[in-house]
Each structure stands twice: as structure tokens, then as C-alpha cells.
Structure 1
Amino acid sequence: MKIDRWCKIVQSAIVGPRCVLCRAPAPLDPAICSGCRAELPWLDRACAGCALPLPGDAQTTHCRHCRPTPRFEHAVAAFHYDEPARWLIARLKFNGALAHARVLGDLLGTRIAGATPESERPDALVPVPLHPAGLRRRGFNQATLIAERLAQALDRPVTPRAAARVRDTPPQRELPAGSRAANVRGAFACRGPSPAAHVAIVDDVVTTTRTAAALADALRRAGAQRITLYCVARA
């Protein structure tokens, strides 16, 4: 692995950075060419309370679930969970393509910069934690890697130890939608006071918001007063 890493460093120094999708020349940050970037499934209209995609002609800022009570004070997603964003996430999550975390964090940062004024951004980022057993199986937490890159773009601290997953729950993707809330209920706990009054939960993909909502409950119990949701893709 070390030899492979050094070969990639030498190659990058000789030919320059390459697009992670088509291998054409690309800027270093993010490592994606303008053509592929334009073809990404950018999420242009989404619920301000949970980032659920809204119709292009929607006359409201919130989905029907969030109109009475928004699930989060603010929510931003960069993409629909479609190709090629889905491939970038899957390669990071299941194949250890760690460079994709840098690309996804940069792209999410671009979307947040365009959607959220500086004064309304959170004071700290909290990546969705893995259970220690899950972390041992995967070897890394993709949400933490994305949050660490996003922290540089937003100039905010990332606090990966602010919360812990205290139950080794089955992956949400393996369960029907009706079972997901119970699966993560009580799955998170904070190790101390909330790292800030306004925190942002960071994840790679959000489908039903059940995982993020369970983490938000733990953060509110620890003293967080405002919770924002940032995710790379929203299904």
C-alpha cells in the first residue's frame, strides 16, 4: 500500500491531478473536472428542514413532514442520491477510496457556501459516529473523513468524539423504512456537554433522517440548542 501511495504521488507530480471520475486533468481541489462536475446530480430544490428533494415548481421551503415541525433547524444536501455521486460514495464507503472523502467534502462545502450565510453556519461539526465494532470492520468512518474536509472549507472545528454510537445496530439500508426509527432509537449518547449551542450533524447519505434524528436527540439532551444537518446526498 505504501508503494502504491508513493507511485500515485509521483504520478500526480508528473502529470498533475486527475479527475476522480474520468481521469482527465482536473484542479487539485476538488479533484473533478468541470465536465464531470456539471453532470453530478446537484440537488437544487430541497426542504429546508430535512433536505428532502422538492419539485422544481414547489411554492414552499419545507416538505409536508417538516411544515408543522422541521426535523432540523436547517438542512443542506449537495446531491440527489444518484450516479455518479452514488458511485463516489460507495467507493469511499465500501472500497476504501479515501480520496473521495476530500472530493465529497469540498463539493458539499461549495453547496453550503451557496446556501447558508456565514452568520447562520454552525459552530461545530459532529460526524455520525460508528459503533467501535463497526469502525473495526470498516477501518474508518466515512462521515468523519468528510466532516474533516468540510471543516476546512467552513473554518469550523470537527468534533468526532462529541458523541458515540452505543449500540451496534444493523445498517439502515438493510431494513424496511418502518423499522428504521426503532433500530436507532437510543443508539447514540454524548460523552459530555454538546460541543456548541449550534452544531451540524454530518453524514454521507440521508434516506429517512432516522439516524440523524436519533443523534440530534442525544445532542439536544447534552445541551445543543440548534441542530443543522449536512449530508453529501439525500435519497
Structure 2
Amino acid sequence: MPVTVNQIRQSRVDGKWCAPLCWLFPPRCLVCGDPGLPGRDLCAACHVALPRPRHACPRCALPMPEAATCPACLARPPPLEAAHAAFDYAFPLDRLLPRLKFHRDFSAGWVLAQCMAERFAGLPRPQALVPVPLHRERLRQRGYDQALELARPLARALDLPLHAGLLQRAKATRAQSRLDAEARGRNLRGAFRVDARATLPAHVALIDDVMTTGATLHAAARALRAAGVARIDAWVCARVA
């Protein structure tokens, strides 16, 4: 299979992006194809047009007509202290995230992580970022973990520790996208465990690509709380309304 320009541009040297290759292959917008912003595969017009939420529930990031806690979170507070979505799950996020998640387009993940860093820079700083892990069988099939691919550059950009092994997927679960909200919760019971040997931070932010019902993030947060983590936030790239 031929190597693409984006793959060449993303060649790593000692875990960092190779600047000389970025100079040889200048940024090109992944959405429209126009020249990108300096150091970013996104043009100025598409960057401005990204679907940023105006108001959202602070506990589950559900888009709201005004800043307020949603009725569901008032009735049954979630295990997350706070949830933040950088964007609504709309165009072009509904194109870029599947390119990362299913098609190994790491350039899409890189540009989305850059945008997430801008959106989350002013939030209360956790002691560590914890990506929501895949089960080893799913990881073997896919070859990479999309949440980790977002968390790595996000941790570097915000100068935060990354605890990639703290949370583990204890069992293989069915694909959440094929289940309704009630079935998603049942599917994830006992799905996560925390490394018993790890030193637990008091405050962590879970990193994931998309938040739909919140079932996955809630299951992960419950495992962390049971292990002794005092505060768990969620930072996701996009929130489904």
C-alpha cells in the first residue's frame, strides 16, 4: 500500500512529530483540502466552523438551550464530577472521528487533539489524563486505541501526565453502537478494572473520542471511584445530542 503525504508528515522521531517533514509537506486541511493553518491540517475557515457547543449540562455535556444541569443528571447524578465535550457530533466531526477510529487516519486524530487542547486549556487541571481503554481482543483487531491516540498529544500540549495503564478493560463487550441506552449499561457492568499496583491520582480526566449515552465513561468512572480516585472528569472530543 502506498504511503500517503499525511503518513510521511506524521513520521515520529523519539516520539515527537518530525518538523523537517512538516516543512517539506505543509499542512493541508483534512476537511476541504485548502492550505492549513501553521502546524495544523485544518484551514482557518474550517477551524472557525467547527461545531462548538454553546451551552451544555456540566455533568454529562449534553447540549442544552442554556447553561444548566439536565433533568436526568438532577434526578440521578452521574459518577463523573464534570463532563466536557470539545465539539458537538456534527459535520465535520462525524467524518473526522470515524477516519481516526476505523481507518487509521492518525492525521485526523492529531488535528482533533490540537483542537481539544485549545478547548480544554482553561478547565480545572487534573493530576493525570486516563484514556478509556479497548479490550485486548479489540485492540489486537484494530491495532491501536483511538482514545490513546487523542490522549497522547493532548497530554503533551497541556503538559499533563498520561496514565495509559491505570484503567484496564476487564472483559470484551459488544459494540455499544448496536445497543439501546439500557442495554449499554448492562453491557458494561464489570467491564473495567484499575491496576492494583498503580499509585492513584486524586483527580483524573477520562479521555474518549465520542460520548453518546455516557455509559462507557460512567462504567470507567465507577471503577476508578471504587479504587479510591476522589474526582473523575470526562474530556471527550465530541458529544452526541
Structure 1 length normalisation: TM-score?
Answer: 0.90
Q: 2:153 is paired with a residue of what secondary structure? A: helix
CA RMSD in angstroms comes to 2.0
Distance (whole Å) between structure 2 residues aligned to residue 74 and residue 167 of structure 1: 26
Query: Cα distance 1:185–1:152, how it changes in 2: closer, same or farther (>3 A)?
Result: same
Partner of 1:53: 63
- Percentage of identical aligned residues: 40
**Structure 1 residue 68: Cα displacement:** 4.8
Partner of 2:81: 73
Aligned residue identity for 2:144: F
Query: Cα distance 1:73–1:30, how it changes in 2: closer, same or farther (>3 A)?
Result: farther
Structure 1 spans left out of the alignment, 5+ residues: none
**Structure 1 residue 150: Cα displacement:** 0.9
Query: Cα distance 1:153–1:21, how it changes in 2: closer, same or farther (>3 A)?
Result: same
Query: Cα distance 1:7–1:197, how it changes in 2: closer, same or farther (>3 A)?
Result: closer
**Structure 1 residue 139: Cα displacement:** 0.5
* Per-residue Cα deviation, 1:25-75 (whole angstroms, up to 9, x for no partner): 1124432111011221111211111111111xx2x4311122255422121
1:187 to 191, 200, 204: 191
Q: Quick check: 1:43–1:80 contact (8 Å CA) kept in 2?
A: yes
Distance (whole Å) between structure 2 residues aligned to residue 210 and residue 29 of structure 1: 35
Query: Cα distance 1:234–1:3, how it changes in 2: closer, same or farther (>3 A)?
Result: closer
* Per-residue Cα deviation, 1:54-113 (whole angstroms, up to 9, x for no partner): 11xx2x431112225542212110111111111000000111101111111111111112
- 1:97 aligns to 2:102 (yes or no): no
Query: Cα distance 1:78–1:6, how it changes in 2: closer, same or farther (>3 A)?
Result: closer
Query: Cα distance 1:64–1:49, how it changes in 2: closer, same or farther (>3 A)?
Result: same
Structure 2 spans left out of the alignment, 5+ residues: 10-19
Q: Quick check: 2:58–2:84 contact (8 Å CA) kept in 1?
A: yes
The 5 Å alignment of 1:44-193 reads 44-55=54-65, 58=66, 60-68=67-75, 70-71=77-78, 72-114=80-122, 116=123, 120-192=124-196, 193=198
Structure 2 length normalisation: TM-score?
Answer: 0.88
Distance (whole Å) between structure 2 residues aligned to residue 67 and residue 160 of structure 1: 31
Aligned residue identity for 1:62: T
Alignment: residue pair count: 228
**Structure 1 residue 153: Cα displacement:** 2.0
The 5 Å alignment of 1:31-46 reads 31-46=41-56
Aligned residue identity for 1:30: R
Q: 1:129 is paired with a residue of what secondary structure? A: coil
Q: Quick check: 1:30–1:107 contact (8 Å CA) kept in 2?
A: no
* Per-residue Cα deviation, 1:136-168 (whole angstroms, up to 9, x for no partner): 111100000101111012211111100111111
**Structure 1 residue 171: Cα displacement:** 1.1
